Amino acid sequence: MLTFAPYHSSFFMKSIQVHGKTFIPYLSSDEIQKSVKTLAEKVYRDYREENPVFLGVLNGVIMFFSDFLKHYPGKCEIAFMQVSSYSGTQSTGIVYKKMELTKEVVDRHIILLEDIVDTGNTLESLVEYFKNTQRPRSLKIASLFLKPEIYKKDVKIDYVGKEIPNKFVLGYGLDYDEQGRNHPDLYQLEEGRINH
Ligand code: IMP
Ligand code: MG
């Protein structure tokens, strides 16, 4: 009997072009969902007795944030903030805070939700910002993707969905110069390594 891979399998995904660069299929949305679900279940095990605030770092987090919530069965609230450090496919190392927090989080249990941690510059300055200005009751970090070859900071990432190689990725909320966020699957830049 013939068996077929699910429709969303990366086997059936085609390469895409964005701003003249080629991105090849890397993770199907089904595969991403599995990582999101496992991550949400881990967070729930730690926070089931609490009313945590899930704080999404915009814009890249949009798809992860929404899917994470669907897999999180407990009491919770949400908030957002926006920062940016990327210019094209290179981290500038400077993190700009573009938006104030959408919610008062003093004395709350905060879980920062990040789409991806690469150099960790963004994360480091976010954690500094929170410690200095917000005084939450607790602060933990959850990132859907982590590039461990690049991440050398001391900040502990408490929950990681999936470790990925040091290649620029696009889709599932992640952009290349503001394009490509709308693809439900994840793609990798074809030209290999990006240096920081
Ligand atoms: P970091 O400060 O270098 O850790 O980068 C963090 C932010 O840069 C993430 O929240 C993303 O928005 C963006 N970013 C990092 N790596 C990638 C990538 O491979 N593709 C798209 N965006 C990325
Ligand atoms: Mg981005």
Is pTM beyond 0.85? Reply is: yes
pLDDT at 3 over 60: no
φ, ψ (nearest 5 deg) of residue 82: -125, 135
Q: What is the pLDDT of residue 195?
A: 45
158-178 mean pLDDT: 97
User: Is residue 143 in contact with ligand 1, taking CB distance under 6 Å?
Assistant: no
Q: Which of 46, 107, 115, 118 is catalytic?
A: 118
Residue 109 C-alpha to ligand 1 middle, in angstroms? 25
Scan for tokens 């609230």, then name that residue.
Answer: 77
Range list of H helices, the chain: 29-47, 62-71, 121-133
Mean pLDDT for 139-156 is: 96
DSSP state of 174: B
* Residues 58-72, mean pLDDT to the nearest whole number: 96
Cα(86) to centroid(ligand 1), Å = 7
The string over 163-188, giving b where at least 16 C-beta atoms fall within 10 Å of a residue's C-beta and e elsewhere, is: ebeebbbbbbbbbbeeebbebebbbb
Phi, psi of 163 (to 5 degrees): -85, 135
118 has catalytic annotation? yes
